[in-house]
Structure 1
């Protein structure tokens, strides 16, 4: 009896396997038959083809409808049935976005009519893409009935997709074409280190621009706006650009003039930009000063800024300079009409400092603020980037961060040692650097340092023929950056040694590391004052 039951069980398993195989085979067979029927039906109909190129062949201008078709096709359920489909990460890490592969077809049904799209990509002998387009294939008998409603349907669906999941992009150019990546910069206007009144004025100007299309056209002007940002490095110009892109929800197009082949290439890049875009040209003064090696003439640059080629709506141009009054700057570049608004980004003052302290340390008021204000009034100046780095490094202790800023400001102050030091040691978790007015402070501080600290301080004394001053804090990124660039001549070895010691700090605790940072940046401060 047991043997019979065992045989019955085996027989049931074998039958189940055969049934599953038959079912799967039937599904595949049905799919194959359906494909054959569709192929045969297509042979008995006359089709018409409509091409949607990515670029206009004559002007190389971007075809906006190409992007709409791309968005629409990415939303079709039938995309999963394509023989080859690309998978990409969406705006959120867990989102998966499908995209039809090159030279692959995808089917769609609209008002009972079946149409197909081909993602056509043409390459040259070097396997470089020379042309991309979508080709719509539709039965001629259905064209009059569905073509216009179908195209309107594509517009509506793509608009909905853009509104629901718009993702900003930053574009860079290579070989005369734009290439983009997602733009996820978190900058916003609330965190910008600018005078509050100036910030409100700029924001109002941008918001007014967004609502002024009809007004500009009534005046016979192109609906665009241009800004010049000028000021020293580290004062917030790049953060302003990122915050503006986020505020307006505009893509960013970064133009590197030194990488543009000629004026025709520059104009071609301009024509390929889309509406709702921020076109950025950084370090314009540096490019103009190197005019002898430039491939773009002054007239070509002026035409790029406001010539006939620059006649597309809904664009904002942003140019940056370190010094707009520098030698070699053509006044015609900056005239009204070509540049609508000049925005100065100065070195950090006390108002900006309080904004940084609130953003980085969560401190709106502190007992050390009066001393910081006094040092600023004495003429001390630092960039917002320098101060923010000091706060970032010491963010776990606001008092410690403020003391580091005070020491750095004192070393940069025009009054130097005349500024009195009033630091309180009670709130610091480690010894603070001595003031420039303290006699013997450097020696006393050395006694509390680890061996590497003393070695570093001694190396600095050995390398400099001048009287060594006491050490003051500044931000460490500039110190190491200057070491790599060798900007301080004979003290380059000291800076390189500082960088090496920083890399060996893994066995110290966080407080000790923070002290080490203050020592390293002190080298940069001292060398700068000696030079």
Structure 2
């Protein structure tokens, strides 16, 4: 500081710029460290930098152990506390035995990374790749997952809080394990899809009678993988162009759901005109076509984004166009059906009475955690016997009628 004060006071102004220029060059030979800045906002529209967000999340996982000044924030619907570095705080990180320093400044909202210049290749390559990958993974884990629905070409959302898991699904254990393995393998196969030149997506078809748990399966998928859900209502989409706009706006790590595809639009290939949907404003025609939907599944537009599942559900798979459900387009078909009962009396009654899976589940589902399974079975038997008596009485009346 003394030398700098003497320099500014006694050296002529016209020589200062040249001296400062060459002193900076001299300093680069003497000072062995390099500093890289990561700003929070970038570009003309001041979009928040993805690199900055990933670094902030990465450091939040390590700074709580090393920093002395921290700031706290709530995530996951105000149910979890996350700590991160406070302004002007510096922490030391280590990667493959190399030390480096992170510092954040409040004024310019940026992170500064300092390291020795001899480690340039290690830091610029493997280390920063590691930081961004870990930061994004932690961000996905901590974020509030959302359930989206479409209105025209826009999405609106609420917080997704469905409690379903694969542990709570009523399904054959072997079949359940097969689906879980398929989903986990898919979510970790980004490099594989890139190497073979395919869009990172997988398409499921869930079909079976109403009430067998197709929607619950989708919620369990989302909870297993930590994905958002986009519930696509095709009857609210005006045409194929609007469908493409919706697809572009969906994010990666998400499940795009089209429920009851057999009821959404006339996509069987047998209908000449699109279905009319009545609303308060009068009849509304959807011009989404089968070819538009197929492009949505596996055409050029399906590659927008990555790591996405597309799930279709239907009660009547036989009514769908073969082009929509063929193998290769639908990667996995999952058939839902009523699980055979081990209780002989219930099995006999189910064979005699016309009932739905939803009716059966209503009686078998306990109303509280302390519910007795035997009480649930007794309730189901009484309901089936009552339905059988009503059916027998109706048949008797028909026989007595002349």
TM-score, normalised on structure 1? 0.48
Do structure 1's residue 298 and structure 2's residue 316 form an aligned pair? Answer: no
Secondary structure at 1:190's aligned position in 2? Answer: coil
String of CA shifts for 1:411-449, please: whole Å, max 9, x gaps. Answer: 55699339xxxxxxxxxxxxxxxxx99x9xxxxxxxxxx
Counterpart Cα distance in 2 of 1:388 and 1:414: 21
* 256, 260, 283: which one aligns with 2:260: 283
Secondary structure at 1:339's aligned position in 2? Answer: coil
Closer, same or farther: CA 412–99 of 1 in aligned 2, 3 Å: farther
* Corresponding residue of 1:386: 359
Alpha-carbon distance, 1:280 to partner? 1.7
Secondary structure at 2:316's aligned position in 1? Answer: coil
Counterpart Cα distance in 1 of 2:147 and 2:339: 34
- Maintained 8 Å contact 2:150/2:231: no
Alpha-carbon distance, 1:241 to partner? 0.8
* Corresponding residue of 1:245: 222
Q: Give the count of matched residue pairs.
A: 330
Alpha-carbon distance, 1:310 to partner? 0.9
Q: Indicate the RMSD between aligned Cα atoms, in angstroms.
A: 5.1
The structure with the larger Rg is: 1
Alpha-carbon distance, 1:281 to partner? 1.9
Counterpart Cα distance in 2 of 1:109 and 1:153: 20
- Maintained 8 Å contact 1:378/1:415: no
Counterpart mapping for 1:246-285 below 5 A:
246-260=223-237, 262-285=239-262
* Corresponding residue of 2:381: 406
* 317, 332, 345: which one aligns with 2:323: 332
* 345, 362, 366: which one aligns with 1:371: 345
Alpha-carbon distance, 1:65 to partner? 4.2
* 342, 346, 350: which one aligns with 2:340: 350
String of CA shifts for 1:273-312, please: whole Å, max 9, x gaps. Answer: 3433222222222211363421433322221111111114
Closer, same or farther: CA 118–285 of 1 in aligned 2, 3 Å: farther
Counterpart Cα distance in 2 of 1:53 and 1:295: 39
The structure where helix makes up a greater share of residues is: 1
* 158, 162, 167: which one aligns with 1:185: 162
Do structure 1's residue 71 and structure 2's residue 57 form an aligned pair? Answer: yes
- Maintained 8 Å contact 2:232/2:256: yes
Alpha-carbon distance, 1:213 to partner? 4.6
* 219, 226, 231: which one aligns with 2:208: 231
Alpha-carbon distance, 1:184 to partner? 3.6
Closer, same or farther: CA 371–153 of 1 in aligned 2, 3 Å: closer
Secondary structure at 2:220's aligned position in 1? Answer: helix
* Corresponding residue of 1:317: 310
Alpha-carbon distance, 1:405 to partner? 0.8
Q: Which has the higher contact order (CA 8 A, sep 6+)?
A: 2
- Maintained 8 Å contact 1:350/1:372: no
Secondary structure at 2:206's aligned position in 1? Answer: strand
Closer, same or farther: CA 282–86 of 1 in aligned 2, 3 Å: farther
Alpha-carbon distance, 1:223 to partner? 3.1
The structure where strand makes up a greater share of residues is: 2
Alpha-carbon distance, 1:318 to partner? 0.7
Counterpart Cα distance in 2 of 1:275 and 1:153: 20
- Maintained 8 Å contact 1:250/1:278: yes
- Maintained 8 Å contact 1:252/1:278: yes
> What are the ranges of 5 or more consecutive residues in structure 1 without an aligned counterpart?
1-46, 120-134, 140-144, 355-368, 419-435, 440-465, 468-531
Closer, same or farther: CA 158–399 of 1 in aligned 2, 3 Å: closer
Counterpart Cα distance in 1 of 2:289 and 2:361: 39
- Maintained 8 Å contact 1:173/1:255: yes
Counterpart Cα distance in 2 of 1:204 and 1:321: 23
Secondary structure at 2:231's aligned position in 1? Answer: strand
* 121, 145, 165: which one aligns with 1:169: 145
Counterpart Cα distance in 1 of 2:72 and 2:233: 31
Secondary structure at 1:189's aligned position in 2? Answer: coil
- Maintained 8 Å contact 2:204/2:333: yes
Alpha-carbon distance, 1:172 to partner? 0.8
> What are the ranges of 5 or more consecutive residues in structure 2 without an aligned counterpart?
1-35, 92-99, 114-118, 267-273, 277-284
Alpha-carbon distance, 1:187 to partner? 1.8
Counterpart mapping for 1:42-57 below 5 A:
52=41
- Maintained 8 Å contact 2:208/2:315: yes
